[in-house]
């Protein structure tokens, strides 16, 4: 297939490009490089354009034929979305609408959309399936839920086939391919723990150790980025057989606490990892774990990276041997946080 990957210079998008290219598909990356990295575009042509530039988007798609689009391009920092909601609605809502309109004019009838567990808001059950109430508590989650609504409406109005994949916590890397999680402002737990192991940045913080969990720290579901890439490829096959708009939750199905992550990372890195306990952050639920039963049954997807240690080890090799283009290699000094 000929696949356009929007946001293909970013963390998950670059892993997706690698996966599809090595499976024999033709890959084209569309990215404005605002948070992505030109050096991560190693598979396929790069089209440098902003999704907010509707005319530029339509111009670069003219004369090209794509069988499907994968849409990863978005702003994705929860805290930042609360402080700057207009920016998030502009990028994630208007940008997605521009992309869908350009696809319609170019007769591209399939899209796999990168969604998020943030659409659910505060969990009402320990394990979250697709039927869980959708009540996002921040603009980031709200913007992704609105984009899912676009896809449902487009299926009815235009016959667009779509799959929205709701990630829980993407993690890991493919260090042998030179790609990994390289954010200028890092808020994810595993990379921040590994930065602490490398002595980069300020002290690591655990936000709350008095939750109703086994060790008092928050529990999260970590799914390897390569498993996510495989789910997207399976979604392409799924759309061959199924019309309409479909949604799937993607997670490991297991919960690991903040203390679990720190202890496992210390074992992998072979060093003690210092941290300090800080007060809870508003809006952090005690436990977020996905039910991926629907993805197993309908997509035929099963995560292969099921243990925490190999996931962290893959990320450790990436962070330890970061290329010069990685912002953490340059030690930007952004605050280190753990959720």
* Site of tokens 């499907």: 68
Nearest to 163 by CA among 66, 228, 224: 228
CA-to-CA distance for 10 and 97, rounded, in angstroms? 20
CA-to-CA distance for 126 and 286, rounded, in angstroms? 9
**How many other CB atoms are found less than 10 A from the CB of residue 86?**
8
CA-to-CA distance for 46 and 178, rounded, in angstroms? 17
Which residue in 11, 89, 140, 211 is the catalytic one? 140
Q: Is 86 left (phi over 0), alpha (psi -120 to 50) or beta?
A: alpha
Nearest to 218 by CA among 203, 207, 230: 207
* Site of tokens 């035929």: 300
Known catalytic membership, residue 140: yes
User: Could you give the residue ranges of the DSSP H alpha helices within 159-224?
Assistant: 189-197
Radius of gyration of the chain (CA): 19
User: Could you give the residue ranges of the DSSP H alpha helices within 159-257?
Assistant: 189-197, 225-241
Give the count of alpha carbons within 13 A of 251, CB side only: 24
Are 75 and 87 in contact by the 8 Å Cβ rule? The answer is: yes
Nearest to 319 by CA among 306, 336, 303, 305: 336
Residues 6+ apart with CB under 8 A from 86: none
* Site of tokens 């396929």: 44
Give the residue numbers annotated as catalytic, written as ranges.
140
């Amino acid at each position: 297939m000929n696949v356009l990957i929007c946001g293909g210079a970013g963390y998950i998008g670059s892993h997706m490009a690698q996966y599809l290219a090595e499976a024999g598909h033709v890959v084209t990356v569309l990215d404005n490089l605002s948070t992505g990295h030109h050096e991560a575009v190693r598979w396929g042509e790069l089209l440098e354009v902003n999704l907010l530039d509707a005319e530029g988007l339509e111009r670069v798609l003219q004369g090209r034929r794509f069988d499907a689009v994968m849409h990863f391009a978005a702003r994705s920092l929860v805290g930042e979305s609360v402080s700057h909601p207009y920016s998030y609605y502009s990028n994630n809502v208007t940008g997605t609408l521009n992309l869908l309109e350009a696809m319609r004019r170019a007769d591209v009838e399939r899209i796999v959309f990168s969604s998020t567990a943030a659409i659910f808001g505060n969990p009402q059950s320990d394990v979250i399936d697709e039927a869980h109430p959708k009540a996002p508590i921040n603009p980031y989650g709200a913007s992704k839920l609105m984009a899912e609504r676009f896809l449902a409406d487009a299926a009815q109005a235009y016959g667009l086939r779509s799959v929205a994949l709701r990630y829980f916590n993407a993690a890991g890397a493919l260090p042998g391919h030179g790609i990994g999680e390289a954010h200028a402002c890092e808020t994810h737990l595993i990379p921040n723990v590994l930065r602490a192991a490398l002595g980069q940045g300020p002290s690591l913080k655990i936000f709350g150790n008095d939750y109703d969990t086994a060790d008092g720290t928050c529990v999260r579901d970590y799914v390897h980025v390569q498993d996510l890439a495989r789910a997207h490829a399976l979604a392409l096959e799924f759309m061959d057989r199924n019309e309409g708009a479909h949604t799937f939750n993607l997670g490991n199905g297991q919960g690991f606490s903040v203390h679990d992550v720190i202890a496992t990372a210390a074992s992998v890195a072979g060093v003690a990892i210092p941290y300090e306990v800080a007060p809870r952050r508003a809006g952090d639920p005690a436990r977020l774990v996905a039910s991926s039963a629907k993805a197993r049954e309908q997509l035929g997807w099963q995560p292969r990276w099921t243990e925490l240690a190999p996931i962290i080890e893959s990320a450790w090799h990436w962070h330890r041997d970061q290329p010069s283009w990685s912002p953490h290699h340059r030690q930007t000094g952004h605050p280190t946080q753990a959720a």
